[in-house]
Amino acid sequence: MTEIIFVNLRGKILANEPLAKYTSWRTGGPADHVYLPADLDDLSQFLQQVPLTMPITWLGLGSNTLVRDKGVEGVVIITQGGLNKLVSINPQEIRAEAGVSAAQLARYSARLGSKGLEFMAGIPGTVGGALAMNAGCFGGETWAHVRMVETITRQGEIKLRSMNDFKVSYRHVVRPLEEWFVAGHFFLNPGDKEKSLHDIRVLLEKRNNTQPTGTANCGSVFRNPPGHYAGRLIEECGLKGKFVGGACVSEKHANFIINQSNATSADIELLITTVGAIVLEKTGVRLIPEVCIVGRL
């Protein structure tokens, strides 16, 4: 592990830090370094000091990431807690930093008397993650509501970018190399506060009734293939309840994998691979994972 001395920082840097507590699957080995920035300016100062040879990995709530058991080389930056500013710029626009939870953004928008972002209450991650993968649920997608974004480079430079700078598709966003999302500007539509808050409660009730909330999982594991639902294909292949080690396919929703009993990341990764292979063999449909797998092999 490379030893580096960072100066003039207000955030917290941790060496050889286990990542299991930063991921919703509750698995994963240590990172060489973890940085918890105090705010966006502090993050900029930190990045100016990170060697160009050091890999950088980003985590928000860790809900769409599988960290391998041997851990992660370089530095892992945790956006939750530090990049947490959420403000109304004007009656038509909200600025939310990358560490703000998607659910918090949804409720904030609703309380302003706006509509359109209610679906984000069902996304189990942060604004940064939602922007990075065009997260969506209940018929809504993140980038359909984006006015502009702020990114940060390896050198700590913050840029304001328009939608035209990105190629956005279903659960996929192509961004400039070595630039990461640090804030999103979301446009608002006039609505009714009480109706929007009611709609959020209904969506969350539906989510609780159909998904294994309250368990150690990452959200949806696979993208929905064109013309299909991944969960339905997995269920039709008889894979609900299938175990590998301590990991199992949820009985409640087959597109969720649960850390049922002290699973390792290797258990989960093998189960992802196994489910994909069986679905391909039985249906001819290739499932593409939504989850991002990081770390040493």
* Active-site option among 97, 179, 269, 290: 290
| Catalytic residue check, 101 | no
Name 138's bridge partners: none
* Active-site option among 63, 107, 171, 179: 171
SS3 (DSSP) at 12: strand
* Active-site option among 24, 63, 114, 220: 220
| Catalytic residue check, 17 | no
| Catalytic residue check, 171 | yes
Active site residues per annotation: 171, 220, 290
